[in-house]
Amino acid sequence: MGSIADLLGDQLRAGLAQLADAEAPPEDDAPSSGGESASDASERARIIAMEAAADEAEIDPARVRGRDSLRGDLDLDDISLYALVARIEREAKVTLADAEVETWVSLSDLLDSVSEAASNS
């Protein structure tokens, strides 16, 4: 579980990233990355979410399983869960609704939501 300082550091990094994004050229002028398919974006977002969950729970990524409960097995409280959501949204460039986050029980629930959000982006 991350500390308050880690959470504040994440918020600071997110704010700085937004400033950098604001200074970036509009997408019309930005170089093309060759286009990422919905399935590629979905898989990339799942990987980001899995790594972020393992980091937040401070466990070896090889030990994380989809059936793991977020609050029990991964020991995530409200603050660490929302720090995790903020990191996923920032790194995977997806938006996750609070109402949806509140329904998550297992890591699989989180990964499915992130995957769906990335597919719809």
pLDDT digits (tens, 9 = 90+) for 79-91: 999 999 999 999 9
The dihedral over CA atoms of 61, 116, 8, 58, expressed in degrees to the nearest 10, equals -10
Burial class, 84, CB count within 10 angstroms (exposed 0-12 / middle 13-18 / buried 19+): buried
Task: Give the per-residue pLDDT at 18.
Answer: 60
The pTM of this model reads: 0.69
CA pair distance 71, 77, nearest whole angstrom: 6
Which overall architecture, per CATH, does domain 4-119 show?
Orthogonal Bundle (1.10)
Sequence spans of domains, the chain: 4-119
Q: How do residues 20-55 score in pLDDT, each as one tens digit?
A: 555 555 544 444 444 678 889 999 999 999 999 999
* Cα 75 from Cα 15, distance rounded (Å): 27
